[in-house]
Every structure is written in structure tokens, then in C-alpha cells.
């Protein structure tokens, strides 16, 4: 199983947000270094974002939300959503995103 997974829900439409490009990066000495990329499936999920294990450090999941809303002809304030989080050990990290054109929220999922 991938060490990082995500799930995006479109709170306004009330459906999973399919087709959002997602990038997992690790913070390095010279900025964010890409680790893996994915695309949300029909259920709004990326089930295999990254390797089975990650080194401890600070990581970021970036969601290309502007492209998602543009395909739907919906104006949005957030062209991307970037969520940074810390990895201390070998546990799985689920990073969900509840999305609308002018707001978003997240939490540590399981």
C-alpha cells in the first residue's frame, strides 16, 4: 500500500472531485522536490500516491484545483491547494480535501 493517499470531495456539487492532478513533494534544502504524481479517480481518490515508505521529513500534497473548476466553468479563488504535513515514522498518511470554489478544509484522515 502507498504511504500517502488522498480523497477530494466537491462540497458544492456534492460529488467526488474526479480528474484533479495531485503532486506529492518533500521539502529539501533547495525547496520542494517532487516524489510522486497522481490523478483523482471517479471516486475522487488517489490510492497510490508515493512509495510504500517515506523518509521522515516535511511533505506537501498539491492539488490543481483551478484546472478542475475551469473544466466546469466555475470561478474559483484557489488555483491550487497545498497541504504541508510532517512524516515522523512509517505510518500511512491519508490527506483528504473538502473543496469548494472559495473555501477548503482538510484533516488527518485514517
Q: Within its chain, how far is the Cα of 24 from the centroid?
A: 7
Strand partners, 81: 63
Does the pLDDT at position 72 exceed 80?
yes
Report the mean per-residue pLDDT for the chain: 94
**Ramachandran angles phi, psi of 56, nearest 5°:** -55, 145
**Model pLDDT, residue 32:** 97
**Model pLDDT, residue 1:** 55
**Model pLDDT, residue 66:** 97
Q: In order of start, what are the domains of the chain with their CATH numbers?
A: 4-106 (2.60.40.180)
- Residues 31-56 have pLDDT tens digits of 999 999 999 999 999 998 988 888 89
pLDDT (average), residues 11-32 = 96
Amino acid at each position: 500500500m502507498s504511504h500517502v493517499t488522498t480523497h477530494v470531495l466537491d462540497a458544492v456539487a456534492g460529488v467526488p472531485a474526479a480528474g484533479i492532478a495531485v503532486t506529492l513533494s518533500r521539502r529539501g534544502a533547495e525547496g520542494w522536490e517532487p516524489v510522486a504524481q497522481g490523478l483523482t479517480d471517479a471516486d475522487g481518490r488517489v490510492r497510490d500516491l508515493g512509495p510504500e515508505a517515506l523518509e521522515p521529513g516535511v511533505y506537501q500534497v498539491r492539488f490543481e484545483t483551478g484546472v478542475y473548476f475551469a473544466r466546469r466553468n466555475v470561478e474559483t479563488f484557489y488555483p491550487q491547494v497545498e497541504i504541508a504535513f510532517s512524516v515522523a515514522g512509517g505510518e500511512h498518511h491519508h490527506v483528504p480535501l473538502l473543496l469548494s470554489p472559495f473555501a477548503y478544509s482538510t484533516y488527518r484522515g485514517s
